[in-house]
Amino acid sequence: MATNRTFTMLKPDAIENGHMGKIIDMIINAGFSIKAMKYTQLSEAQAKEFYAVHAERPFYGELVEYMTSGPIVAAILEKENAVADFRALIGATDPAEAADGTIRKAYAESKGRNAVHGSDSDENAAIEGVFHFAANEIF
């Protein structure tokens, strides 16, 4: 399994607020190359499955509703140390705690509506990439 790839989504708030281009620019400027990308909208079933690990958390219903509320950009990104470097680029879950220069500091609205997803491990990056992309959509 590749250790140099991660998976991201630009979440509905980022698209709604007109930040898609600026966020993609930050990602490319940070040295990531795009291996797959699509503009799409999650169904309720897809959002529930994607975030199944959070099913018992009090914010799960709100999270599924938010993630299905509008289009997203899903992408597979490549860079040495991709998972950790991308988590550093996006910053803490809560933008109030995110470091200066991070995507969430610049563009997230709140802990829930936080602009961008980044995989938390190589294993999950691979699972999440395959969840969103067919083999002939990954380069």
Under a CB-based contact definition with an 8 Å cutoff, are residues 1 and 123 in contact?
yes
Q: What binding mask, one character per residue, do residues 73-112 give for ligand IDP by CB under 6 A, x or -?
A: --------------------x-----------------xx
| x/- track of binding to ligand IDP for residues 112-131 (CB under 6 A) | x-x--x--x-----------
Residues sharing a CB contact under 8 Å with residue 54, sequence separation 6 or more, in sequence order: 60, 63
Please choose, out of 23-31, 56-64, 72-80, 121-129, the segment that lies near ligand IDP by the rule CB under 6 A: 56-64
Q: Tokens standing for 134?
A: 């067919």
Candidates 87, 86, 99, 95; CA nearest to 30 is 86
Q: How many CB atoms lie within 10 A of CB 107?
A: 25
6 binds ligand IDP (CB under 6 A): no
Of residues 26-45, those binding Mg ion (CB under 5 A): none
Helix (H, G, I), strand (E, B) or coil at 70: coil
Binding site for Mg ion (CB under 5 A): 120
Binding site for ligand IDP (CB under 6 A): 54, 59, 62-63, 93, 111-112, 114, 117, 120
